[in-house]
Amino acid sequence: MFEKTVNKTKAWKKLEHHYKHFRKLQMKDLFAVDPDRAKKFSVNFDAMYLDYSKNRINDRTMKLLLNLARECDLENKIKAMFKGDKINVTEKRPVLHIALRNRANTPIYVDGKNVMPQINEVLAKMKKFSDAVRFGEFRGQTGKKLTNIVNIGIGGSDLGPVMACEALRKYWAKDINCYFISNIDGTACAEVLNKIDPETTLFIVASKTFTTIETLTNARTCRKWLVDALGEHAVAKHFVALSTNTKEVEKFGINPENMFEFWDFVGGRYSMWSAIGLIIAIAVGFENFERMLEGAYAMDQHFYNTDFEHNIPVILAMLGIWYNNFFGLHRYAVIPYDQYLQYVPMYLQQLDMESNGKFVAMNGEYVKYATGPVLFGGAGTNVQHSFFQLIHQGPEVVPIDFVIPAISHNEVGEHHEILVANVLAQGEALMRGKTVKEAAAELKKAGKSREEINYLKRFKSFEGNRPSNTIVFKKIDPYTLGMLIAMYEHKVFVQGVVWNVDSFDQYGVELGKQMALSILPELQGTAYGIGHDASTTSLIELIKKLRK
Q: Which of 354, 457, 489, 522 is catalytic?
A: 354
Please state the three-class secondary structure of 196-234 as a single string.
CCHHHEEEEEECCCCCCHHHHHHHHHHHHHHHHHHCHHH
Question: Is residue 343 within 8 Å of 481, Cβ to Cβ?
Answer: no
Does the annotation mark 170 as catalytic? no
Residues 374, 331: Cα–Cα separation, whole Å: 4
Query: Which CA distances in Å does 510 have to 347, 374, 381?
Result: 20, 20, 36
250 has catalytic annotation? no
Helical segments of 306-403, H only: 312-321, 344-349, 355-356, 388-393
Q: What torsion do the CA atoms of 235, 237, 242, 243 make, to the nearest 10 degrees?
A: 50
Q: Is 328 exposed, middle or buried (0-12, 13-18, 19+ CB in 10 A)?
A: exposed
Question: Treating both helix axes as pointing N-terminal to C-terminal, what angle do 74-82 and 286-305 enclose, rounded to 10 degrees?
Answer: 150
| Among 8, 24, 385, 545, the one annotated catalytic | 385
Cβ count within 10 A of residue 303: 23
Cα 410 off chain centre by: 25
Q: Rounded to whole angstroms, what are the CA distances from 119 to 147, 168, 201, 267, 278? A: 27, 24, 27, 15, 14
> In terms of C-beta distances under 8 Å and separation of at least 24 residues, what long-range contacts does 6-11 make, across chains too?
6/68, 6/72, 6/369, 6/498, 6/499, 6/500, 7/325, 7/368, 7/369, 9/68, 9/71, 9/72, 10/71, 11/64, 11/67, 11/68, 11/70, 11/71
- 548 part of the active site: no
- Active-site residue, from 40, 513, 541, 544: 513
By annotation, the residues acting in catalysis are 354, 385, 513
